[in-house]
Amino acid sequence: MEFVKKLYESIYTNANQNAFYIKDTFYTYKVFSDIINSIRFALQQNVSENEKMLGLVTNNDIETYAAIIALWFEGKAYVPVNPEVPQKRNEQVFELTDIHYVIDSSEVSTFNDLEVINPQKIESVTQKIPLKKVNNNDLAYILFTSGTTGLPKGVPITFNNVNALVNAVDIEPDFNLMPTDRCLQMFELTFDFSVVTYLFPILSGACIYTIPKGAIKYFYIFKLINEQRLTVLTMVPSIINYLRPYFNEINAPDVRYCSFGGGALHADIAQEWSDCLPNCKVFNYYGPTEYTVYSGFYPYNKETHTKNHNGVVAIGKPQVGTTYIVVDENNKEVQVGITGELCLGGEQVTPGYWKNPQKNEESFFVKEEKGEMIRFYKTGDLCFKDNQGDFLYVGRSDFQVKIRGYRVELAEIEFHAKAACEKKVNIVALDILNQLGNSELGLAIESDEFDTTSIFEYMKSKMPDYMIPSHTRFIKEFPHSINGKINRKELKSYFEINK
């Protein structure tokens, strides 16, 4: 597999370069490769060749990143879980993927029913271990996102999917990392955008700067930009809302690239942020987990490229190897300028949701495009294509939202809230905008006021903290539309009025 070979070569070629900056400590590529070899040796000694997927506890340490690369060099996939998420949810993920082994660098592992490999407690191996054969269609990772049934939803990505992403970015002339680059990695490793923030720097021999767990992210990013003079930033747009009060203190001429993804980038704040980065190219990337991180981008420039719709910066054009079409409810392509659902086709499309044939039937279809039969993924995003070939984002076609960069199914929140509620009442989860313009979660309950402590305690035991609503409103009677459906738009006004 081409990109795996490139990773292997880069790690050894750049042995003397810094690979990571984690918790105020630098690690060279030589140190990184030694840890990778130690993990690979442990895998070869303890895990069968047929065991193709291992769990990974996503600690912020050099061993966790080394584990990802070690698994890839062995032709295996990682299934990441966040140790700060409720144990039950993580156990569900491992049960769904039939995981028997987990790599966990925690001091004490909580996965007592699995075979745990702690990379901090294994034999040190420094000699270079040859690459295993990596098959294109084998899985590289599975990420689990919020699901409508209360169960997490698995998105498997193959080595071929990742290779297609790498090839598309390699062809892009406006983006070229170097060994001298200092790159931000602000994402939890269960979030798909994290893949590009470690993959491309390692391919280039650059240094990756991570955020400690528990740190205030926007403040730590501010610190890294100023003190470590980062050159490459990859962020969710919501972060710069929190940095906005400090814009007059940020002057970062070293930053060469700033990429956004995982949420809507608003034109007003993009312009202000650009003033902080005088020598920077800004990219607004677009792409779902199901399409291997991202599928295309818009090259934002505060003077020449400010295209937006309703204040949201355009998502631009598809990258090489990707096809965009906008369709109606019958999957028929609509004309330029007409809003419909954006669908993505190309080698980066996931093979399909993990053990979920019903969802696969709903989300994928095959269509002839320019004489070729292409399999498309239905994103759920409403967009239109303009006369210049750029795509502009309009909104969601369902009730799936982005919170702090994470994709959240409102139906899952409602599912768990209702399961914990002794009263048989209507409960609706909503995304609402706070004063900074970021999305937060609200819970509307159709009832007189009552104590919700037990409901929230239950939800906290089932879901990660970013899925726990921070606002609650009791409403005696929900508003309804003419066709009898709950009027969610009007429900949101109850939160806005009382903020």
Would you say residue 80 lies in a domain? no
Token couple for 333? 């392509």
Task: State how beta strands 439-446 and 471-475 pair.
Answer: parallel
Question: What is the mean predicted confidence (pLDDT) over 113-134?
Answer: 94
| Structure confidence at residue 481 (pLDDT) | 61
Percent of the chain surpassing pLDDT 70 = 98
Is a pLDDT exceeding 80 seen at residue 399? no
Crossing angle between the packed helical segments 62-73 and 29-46, to the nearest 10 degrees: 60
* Confidence band, pLDDT 50/70/90 cuts, at residue 79: very high
What span, in angstroms and rounded, lies between the C-alpha atoms of 61 and 21? 9
Is a pLDDT exceeding 80 seen at residue 297? yes
Percent of the chain surpassing pLDDT 90 = 78
Would you say residue 95 lies in a domain? no
pLDDT tens track for 273-289: 999 999 999 999 999 99
The answer to whether residues 382 and 416 belong to one domain is: no
Backbone angles phi, psi at 466, to 5 degrees: -70, -10
Task: State how beta strands 18-22 and 207-210 pair.
Answer: parallel
Contact of 285 with 405, CB cutoff 8 Å: no
Is a pLDDT exceeding 90 seen at residue 486? no
The structural domain count of the chain equals: 2
What span, in angstroms and rounded, lies between the C-alpha atoms of 227 and 419? 48
Would you say residue 407 lies in a domain? yes
The answer to whether residues 408 and 446 belong to one domain is: yes
Is a pLDDT exceeding 50 seen at residue 236? yes
What span, in angstroms and rounded, lies between the C-alpha atoms of 131 and 117? 21
Q: What is the end-to-end Cα distance of the chain in Å, rounded?
A: 53
Closest CA to 261 of 431, 468, 406: 406
What span, in angstroms and rounded, lies between the C-alpha atoms of 234 and 255? 11
Q: Give 409-447 as a DSSP string.
A: EHHHHHHHHHHH-SS---EEEEEEE-TTS-EEEEEEEES
The answer to whether residues 327 and 370 belong to one domain is: yes
The answer to whether residues 407 and 488 belong to one domain is: yes
The answer to whether residues 485 and 411 belong to one domain is: yes
The answer to whether residues 380 and 427 belong to one domain is: no
What span, in angstroms and rounded, lies between the C-alpha atoms of 11 and 40? 15
The answer to whether residues 411 and 482 belong to one domain is: yes
What span, in angstroms and rounded, lies between the C-alpha atoms of 149 and 153? 9
CATH code, 463: 3.30.300.30
The answer to whether residues 361 and 420 belong to one domain is: no
The answer to whether residues 340 and 363 belong to one domain is: yes
Q: Can you give the residue range of the structural domain that contains 449?
A: 400-497
Is a pLDDT exceeding 60 seen at residue 482? no
Average pLDDT, the chain: 93
* Confidence band, pLDDT 50/70/90 cuts, at residue 21: very high
User: End of a domain among 377, 396, 415?
Assistant: 396
| Structure confidence at residue 499 (pLDDT) | 45
The answer to whether residues 416 and 481 belong to one domain is: yes
The answer to whether residues 439 and 368 belong to one domain is: no
With tokens 């919170």, the residue in question is 403
* Confidence band, pLDDT 50/70/90 cuts, at residue 498: very low
Would you say residue 202 lies in a domain? no
User: End of a domain among 348, 379, 396?
Assistant: 396
pLDDT tens track for 177-193: 999 999 999 999 999 99
Token couple for 132? 């295993």
Would you say residue 490 lies in a domain? yes
467: which DSSP letter? G
Token couple for 62? 């050099």
Question: Does residue 183 sit in helix, strand or coil?
Answer: strand
What span, in angstroms and rounded, lies between the C-alpha atoms of 18 and 33? 12
User: End of a domain among 344, 364, 396?
Assistant: 396
Would you say residue 297 lies in a domain? no
Closest CA to 405 of 146, 160, 179: 146
Would you say residue 493 lies in a domain? yes
Contact of 457 with 419, CB cutoff 8 Å: no
Closest CA to 382 of 391, 394, 400: 394
With tokens 């006369």, the residue in question is 387
Is a pLDDT exceeding 70 seen at residue 149? no
Closest CA to 78 of 161, 157, 187: 157
- In angstroms, what CA-CA distances link 171 with 176, 182, 216? 10, 22, 36
The answer to whether residues 406 and 493 belong to one domain is: yes
310: left (phi over 0), alpha (psi -120 to 50) or beta: left
Would you say residue 330 lies in a domain? yes
CATH code, 349: 2.30.38.10
